[in-house]
Amino acid sequence: MSTQAVLFDAPGPRTRRRHLLYTLIAGAAVLGLVGYVLAVLWRNGQITPDRWAPIVGAEAWTSYLLPGLQATLLGALISIVLAFLLGLVLAMARMSDMRWLRAVAAVVVEFFRAVPVLIMMLFVFYLLTYLTDVEGMWPSLIGVVVGLVLYNAAVIAEVVRSGVNALPKGQGEAGLSIGLSSLQVRSMILLPQALTAMMPTLVSQLVVVLKDTALGYIILYPELLNSVRQMGTRFGNVTVAFIVGAAVFILVNWLITVVAHRLERRLQRRGHIAAVVINHVEQPLEHQPGGKTTDQ
């Protein structure tokens, strides 16, 4: 009997038909609401063909959408790499054998998890603007990156630490029994497994980083949302411009999710193959052919 069958009874034909009916009704309601909103926008002249015409032109893409997307991806890429590295360092520090290091890492993680990202961006931006000679888009870029890195590194640290703590205790004990240090056990045995197990959560955090670059709009960072607003003002089609911007965000996030899921499946396959090889190697050490053990 499967676990699913133990947890709840399988729905019968009448229940499945009822669920299908509920799904159709809910889908029709959603489509009706979307149709109503589109009709209102069309009636007010917000999504008529003349509003969409500038989006097809080269100026909308070369002057607004592509530069905005490039700035968004630049800020997100730098933030993702630095946040992941800093998150691993904080996670290892929180699991350290030294009490003072655990305490410092805990304070850092809890502080930056509690402070809103926008406040950190504004603080760094105004600090660079008034106290340094940094000019151009650098203050806004650094503000976006620092805010995203500090917050997401704290979140990633907790995700990784939770993944390590969820692993069976026997693996760490086995590593210590063969002479590995605590640091080597965590970095060589526990950490790779935790990263694989927590991959879905890490993927969702990467998507959060990409979307939160839009907060750079407040500190004048020329990311996609800011470029979309300028394009809407330039062509007088604000609604259409934001629809296109949302579609670009959705497409990029979907591509990131697809790539991450493929990476996750690849890591899981490698882990499964390794487990099979280990079992195959250990089998002859415990039992000889014919049912005789090695002690015999």
Separation of CA 220 from chain center: 24
| Mean pLDDT value across residues 284-292 | 43
Answer yes or no: is pLDDT of 289 > 50: no
| Distance from C-alpha of 256 to C-alpha of 116, rounded to nearest angstrom | 25
| Mean pLDDT value across residues 264-287 | 49
User: 200: pLDDT confidence band, cut at 50, 70 and 90?
Assistant: confident
**pLDDT of 270:** 64
Answer yes or no: is pLDDT of 290 > 50: no
**pLDDT of 268:** 67
Answer yes or no: is pLDDT of 277 > 50: no
Per the prediction, the chain carries an average pLDDT of 81
Bigger pLDDT: 80 vs 194: 80
Could you report the per-residue pLDDT of 56-97, keeping only the tens digit for each?
888 889 999 999 999 999 999 999 999 999 998 998 888 887
Could you report the per-residue pLDDT of 114-136, keeping only the tens digit for each?
999 999 999 999 999 888 887 88
Could you report the per-residue pLDDT of 202-244, keeping only the tens digit for each?
777 888 898 899 999 899 899 999 999 999 999 888 899 999 9
Answer yes or no: is pLDDT of 53 > 60: yes
pTM for the model stands at: 0.76
Percentage of the chain modeled with pLDDT above 90: 38
- Domains observed in the chain: 71-261 (1.10.3720.10)
